Structure 1
Amino acid sequence: MTDTPLPDGSPRPPSSSPSAAGFVREATAADLDAIGRVHAAAMLASLRAAHAAAHEVPLPPGVEAMVAAPVIAAGWEQAVVAPPSPAHRVLVAVDEGGEVAGLIGVAPSPEGTDAAEEADDADVNAAERGLEITALGVAPEQQRRGHGSRLLAAAADQARAQGAEVLLVWAVRGDESLAGFLRGAGLTRTESFRRLPVGQGVIEDCWAAVL
């Protein structure tokens, strides 16, 4: 990975070599248990915030029980060990102690053009391609240490390397910490959204950045 900027053009933190803060690398099968733990914890924190913001009640216990680390890890296995194409990748952020602190998944997105038109006033044509962040999570105890920025910068690297011109991510509405992070990195919330049948229901908004 080269020292290319975040989607908004700001300098990126180092991600390709070990440092005092950590680095980003390709996920391997040996990471699956850690990926399950990290993603489950990050997902629960986000869903709790979204559900509380939308309904002023906690996330139902049954929903929390379904977001279990072993289940999440199993869901990532194929993406890690046998991705459907070179454009599908799973990366992990590693802390100074060698522990997996966060993850990001990327895949080609057919929605890139529409989202780009909402995110930027520049001319966007049908030839433009998007890369979607299918998952982005940092363990709650590892947040605010640069791991999320390194992961997002790595995704921007991947998008540019593949010739993509739009970076997309779906984020639950009501998780203000995540929204602030995405906004600070230069992504814009578009008008696209979808409803998820989680508890009493939560909404995911599509965020996008033209690269």
Structure 2
Amino acid sequence: MTSPARPGLPGRAEVSVRPARPDEAAAIAAVQLVTWRTAYRALLPAAVLDDWDEAAAISTWRTAVLSPPTPAHGVLVALDGAVVAGFAAFGPAELAAGEEPLPEGATTELTALLVEPRWGRRGHGSRLLAAVVDLGADSGVVRLQMWLPEDDTVTARFLEGAGWAPDGWVRTLDTGSSTFRQLRWHTLLDDERGVQ
């Protein structure tokens, strides 16, 4: 999962994706906060973003890494040199209201795919997504899905470029002071570890 530095570009940091370690929980929480404040300022209540409970977020991510709810849950980090530039979290898919269940383990849900804006456009998101695809294919997953705020056009364009599409399911989340709609995106894994 590591891409070596390119020859002829001295000083270019090595980039990689690997499973997160417990001591990276603070870095993961920091990426989440900075990215949410940048991308979702108009979507999430100010209290969520401005009154961020850093200790609780770090504890939550440490638990997710150390004691995932099932073996199918995981957290990956994207590294730029030694810096955590982004992360992905995934697990068994939750059904939408009224949705018929798929065979157990057939679908993995990407619950977070965030790259801190200062590390954007360097391939970290693509590497994270490719790693989730590889892990899913290794464990027999045939479909990936992700709920995305309807107004998040940046991530929507990224997923579309990776072969994903909305699957028609919509849900409304209540933030406590407002609501927003999420669309569910999905892709099917093919036999060659790509997407259809």
- TM-score norm. by structure 2 comes to 0.81
1:88 corresponds to? 73
| Superimposed CA distance per residue, residues 60-87 of structure 1 (whole angstroms, 9 cap, x where no aligned partner) | 4223224444332222221101113321
The secondary structure found in structure 2 opposite 1:106 is strand
Structure 2 residues without counterparts, runs of 5 or longer: 6-12, 190-196
Corresponding letter in the other structure for 1:79: A
Say what the alpha-carbon RMSD is for the aligned residues: 2.4
Q: Give the equivalent residue in structure 2 for 1:202.
A: 180
* AA at the equivalent of 1:92: V
Counterpart Cα distance in 1 of 2:68 and 2:104 = 25
Q: SS of the counterpart of 1:132?
A: strand
User: What is residue 34 of structure 1 aligned with on the other side?
Assistant: 27
Greater relative contact order (CA < 8 Å, ≥ 6 in sequence): 1
Indicate if the aligned counterparts of 2:23 and 2:62 stay in contact, CA closer than 8 A: no
List aligned pairs for 1:131-170, cutoff 5 A: 131-170=108-147
Give the conservation status (yes or no) of the 8 Å contact 2:150–2:182.
Answer: yes
Alpha-carbon contact 1:169-1:208 (below 8 Å) kept: yes
Q: Identity percentage over the alignment?
A: 36
Equivalent pair of 1:36/1:71 in contact (CA under 8 Å)? no
The offset of 1:16, in angstroms, is: 3.2
CA 110–197 in structure 1, closer or farther in 2 if over 3 Å, else same: closer
Question: What displacement does 1:42 show?
Answer: 1.7
The one of 106, 109, 131 aligned to 2:90 = 106
Unaligned 5+ segments in structure 1 are: 1-14, 52-58, 118-124
Q: Distance in 2 between matches of 1:23 and 1:180?
A: 23
Match of 2:151 in 1: 174
Q: C-alpha distance in 1, partners of 2:59/2:171? A: 25
Which residue in the other structure is 1:43 paired with?
36
Q: Deviations over 1:32-78 (max 9, x none)?
A: 100000012222333225x3xxxxxxx54223224444332222221
Structure with more strand by fraction = 2
Report the 3-state secondary structure (helix = DSSP H, G, I; strand = E; otherwise coil) of the residue aligned with 2:23.
helix
How far apart are residue 202 of structure 1 and its match?
A: 1.4
- The 3-state SS of whatever aligns with 1:209 is strand
- Which has more helix, going by share of residues? 1
Equivalent residue, structure 2, for 1:25 = 18
